[in-house]
Amino acid sequence: MHIKQELPERKLRNISYETHPDGRAKAAFFTKLGFTEKQWEVLAESLQKHGLTNPVVKTVRSEYGVSYCVEGPIETPGGARPNIRTVWIVEEGVSEPRLITAYPV
């Protein structure tokens, strides 16, 4: 995805420090890689780079817009490069993709 992306702070804080039962495993994964809630900007930068440098593996059109699944390695504070999937949506009437989720694959 070679355009500017929207990475909402609240979404990034939730990915790196989720207390809800459904998100704890994902948060544990990103925390283990060195991402923290307090430094959510580091995660934002890594996710943005992930979306720009890895291939779109699936595109889905819905009533809300077009969703893109991107898969590949992510740069981490600890130097590991695990494969993750990010899902982005370009909503109807909007030109910039917005991050929906990110998780390991």
Classified as helix, coil or strand, 47 is helix
Q: What is the pLDDT of residue 34?
A: 93
* Domains contained in the chain, number: 1
- Full domain range(s) for residue 85: 9-104
Q: Which residue has the tokens 């595109």?
A: 59
Q: Does residue 47 lie in a domain region?
A: yes
Q: What is the pLDDT of residue 22?
A: 66
Q: Does residue 3 lie in a domain region?
A: no
Q: Does residue 1 lie in a domain region?
A: no
Q: What is the pLDDT of residue 3?
A: 45
Q: What is the pLDDT of residue 9?
A: 72
Q: Does residue 78 lie in a domain region?
A: yes
All residues at 6 or more sequence positions from 71 whose CB lies less than 8 Å from its CB, including other chains: 54, 55, 57, 83, 84, 85, 105
Q: What is the pLDDT of residue 41?
A: 87
Specify whether the CB–CB gap between 82 and 103 falls below 8 A: no
Report, as ranges of residue numbers, the positions in the chain whose pLDDT lies below 50: 1-3
Q: Does residue 72 lie in a domain region?
A: yes
pTM, two decimals, is: 0.83
Q: Does residue 97 lie in a domain region?
A: yes
